[in-house]
Chains A and B, each alone.
Chain A
Amino acid sequence: MRVALFPTCVNDAIHPRTGQAVVALLERLGVQVDFPAAQTCCGQPQYNTGYRRATEPLVRRMAGAFAGYDHVVTPSGSCTAMVRDNYPRIGAKARTEGRGDGLARAAASLVPRVLELTEFLVDVLGVSDVGAYYPHRVSYHPSCHGLRMLGLGDRPRRLLEAVEGLELVELPGAEECCGFGGTFAVKNPDVSAAMGADKVRNALSTGAEVLCGADNSCLLHIGGTLRRADAPMRAVHLAEILACTRADPTGTGWATPRARSSA
């Protein structure tokens, strides 16, 4: 099984720790992962802002970078949904615009192999207990794309419930959008901030120390709102929770090459 990691451009540039956590987690589960360096970005921000044509080279790039892998695992629901829902549309539109079949074929070759992290863990590896240890009170925010477009369902919850020491508390209004929405966050900052404030208020009402999510773009917005408020809560990606173990409860070892090569 050849598995490639698509940490996403956001995690590459801003939050590499999430990518490192996925590597540590998968290697702990006996999966060898690769990071094809030709990858960049799935094109979601451009596409969702109306720049479909600017996304086309990225569709080709993604298909090329991940050619030959059985699975492409990504710790982002929205990037998975971008590939799964929109790549076929981009290909089909290029075809109707008389620009050939190439893009549609590139999309079709990639789409079925791209999996969101919890899909890969639960559906492909068939695990819900990944042997993690995380002695904290945690609430889970299911981001919109994972929830509604991918239909991740209870996969994240099952994974979290199996974590040793973790106390999972229900997030009121969990299904409601946090207000990030990509460029929405800066095009409509007032509404975005109002939604973020409500999300944070709900999160704080749980008394949890950690708000867990499976999409770092949402967590940038929620985490930024939490930090601005100096709130006693951190936003943490699900992968970083699942990668923590009794031996390494804070994940200090993920980043060091030694920890990984010994896996």
Chain B
Amino acid sequence: MSDTYLGMPSFPQAKASTRDTRLRANLTHATRTIRDKRARAVAELDDWAQLREAGKRIKDRTLRHLDDHLVQLEQNVTAAGGTVHWAADAAEANRIVADLVKATGEREVVKVKSMATQEIELNEALAAEGITAYETDLAELIVQLGEDRPSHILVPAIHRNRGEVRDIFAAKMGEWGRPAPEGLGDSPAELAEAARLHLREKFLRAKVGISGANFMVAETGTLVVVESEGNGRMCLTLPETLISVVGIEKVLPTWRDLEVFLQLLPRSSTAERMNPYTSFWTGTSDGDGPRNFHLVLLDNGRTDTLADEVGRQALRCIRCSACLNVCPVYERAGGHAYGSVYPGPIGAILTPQLRGTASAVDASLPFASTLCGACYEVCPVAIDIPEVLVHLREQVVERDGPGHRTERAVVRAGSWLLDHPAALGAVERWASRTRGLHPRRLPTAVARAWTDSRDLPELPEAPFRDWWRKSR
């Protein structure tokens, strides 16, 4: 019953997450901390609304002429000494990167945190070719050492608290390189220091770096990476070869456009006026940084998303994660429940568009929201996430997946009733008259989904419409 009427399984892990008190506590603590900080950082700028509107429009106009901007970007990157590759899907991107790494003769690469390379599962693809990719972002390192999956865009190990991180470092660092210091404590400062020591030897000998990018500027061929820890600078500067895998939607037309996004992004993501480090590079520079630069432009479902009139706004996303941090469903379900590298509200609209809704989890994502609108309110590029969610729900329902057949029938019957007020009144009347017979908890799965945690309302003596008719 639950599968047929409810249409969808609730997202698979949510039940477990709501009962995992440690996970709940970790998430609640972290998201609330950042939520308040973001609000203060945003409140400092009295022109936030104008910046947000500008960000939205720049992105919309860029997407409308994405072909032109990408071609211009390609020309400028090439002119500045870089090489541009185009990858239609994950497999092609992985093959390109693996071939580039193999051509250097290296077997190890250092990586800056990048959603695009997680999306295409690059590390796994490289491992299959005998190449080890070291994640160098602190949270990614925690995830990699813990053989875990990321659960947040900005802070992939947000589901771990300091004690858990300490245990992972102490147990696992030695397997990957320099072991954690003896007697490692659990203060974030000590843990950051352990990561510094562990990764430093890798940075200093790295010959190949792999990154994503936050922005690419078409008119100049410049790529921009926004970060905090300095691992990005290490990977972008020290190796001889740099390979950046970037989604095609990350392009901006002009250098000037950065003035909007470099204000929107840091305040929305880490709630800072400016993040500690931002790196800009245009192709290659003599004697400064990598001698070889490859840019892999990634489609992997983005052009499908672009074709959807309502859904394409998801491509504005600058991956700030503000929507995750305010989302009450994310806070309780945790990032893993979304079954994708893009969790939370943005994941619920992006993943089903990039991957389609054929799998149960992808089809369940658009329903993983109360439509409370907190995500839309904080989104720095004004993605109307509730609007897209409802739009995607329609697509799931229209496809008439087996799960929705009964629900459709119920809705159809309901629609008839709601278009016949007299009949509706009769049903309401019947329900009111039989109210003495309604138990407090109901047996069917749908009803149980309600009554397991909540009482049903008591029905009135008569519906409003009857009272009105009689009293007039």
Contact = CB atoms under 8 A, between A and B. Distances in A.
B39 to A, nearest CB: 11
B314 interface: no
Interface in B385-413: 387, 390, 393-398, 407-408, 411-412
A50 B457 contact: no
Interface in A44-66: 46-52, 54, 57-58, 61
Given A16-B460, A177-B328, A51 B411 contact: yes
Contacts of A255: 467, 471
B449 A186 contact: yes
Interface string B352-381: 000000000000001111111110110000
Contacts of B18: 190-191, 193-194
B14 interface: yes
Interface string B437-471: 00000000010011011111101101111011111
A71 interface: no
B15 interface: yes
Given A148-B376, A179-B328, A221-B454, A48 B371 contact: yes
Contacts of A86: 390
Interface stretch (B2-10, B67-75, B162-170, B245-253): B2-10
Given A20-B467, A35-B468, A225 B453 contact: yes
B10 A188 contact: yes
A61 B454 contact: no
A188 B14 contact: yes
B436 to A, nearest CB: 16
Contact of B373 (A51, A149, A182, A194): A149
Size band of the interface chain B makes with A: 35 or more
Contacts of B15: 190
Tell me whether chain B's interface is mostly helix, strand or loop, or mixed: helix
Interface string B1-33: 000001110110011001100001000000000
A93 B332 CA distance: 34
Given A14-B459, A184-B367, A148 B374 contact: yes
A7 B1 CA distance: 32
A105 interface: no
Nearest to A58: B418
The listed residue with most A CB atoms (<10 A of its CB), out of B7, B18, B396, B470, is B18
Contacts of A149: 373
B328 A48 contact: no
A224 B457 contact: yes
Nearest to B11: A188
A148 B382 CA distance: 13
Nearest to A255: B467
A187 B373 contact: no
A190 B367 CA distance: 14
B10 A12 contact: no
Given A14-B460, A35-B468, A186 B453 contact: no
A12 B463 contact: yes
Contacts of A124: none
Contacts of B418: 9, 40-41, 43, 57-58, 61
Contacts of B470: 257
Contacts of B449: 185-187, 189
Contact of B419 (A19, A47, A51, A61): A61
A195 B450 CA distance: 13
A58 B366 CA distance: 24
A35 B465 contact: yes
Contact of A52 (B19, B394, B419): B394
Contacts of B10: 187-191
Contacts of A47: 390
A135 interface: no
B421 A39 contact: yes
A175 B375 CA distance: 12
Nearest to A18: B464
B431 interface: yes
Contacts of B328: 176-177, 179, 195
B329 to A, nearest CB: 5
A84 interface: no
Contact of B371 (A19, A181, A223): A181
Interface of A: 7, 9, 11-17, 19-20, 35, 37-41, 43, 46-52, 54, 57-58, 61, 86, 89, 96, 144-145, 148-149, 175-177, 179-197, 220-221, 223-225, 227-228, 255-257, 260
Per CB-CB distance, the 9 closest pairs between chain A and chain B, nearest first, are: A181-B370, A224-B454, A50-B393, A177-B372, A257-B471, A193-B453, A50-B397, A16-B464, A144-B372
26 contacts: A37-B465, A39-B421, A46-B411, A49-B397, A50-B398, A54-B412, A54-B414, A57-B415, A58-B415, A144-B371, A145-B373, A148-B372, A149-B373, A176-B374, A184-B370, A187-B8, A188-B368, A189-B450, A191-B333, A193-B453, A193-B454, A196-B454, A221-B454, A223-B457, A256-B471, A257-B471
Interface of B: 6-8, 10-11, 14-15, 18-19, 24, 309, 328-329, 332-333, 366-374, 376-377, 387, 390, 393-398, 407-408, 411-412, 414-415, 417-419, 421, 424, 428, 431, 446, 449-450, 452-457, 459-460, 462-465, 467-472
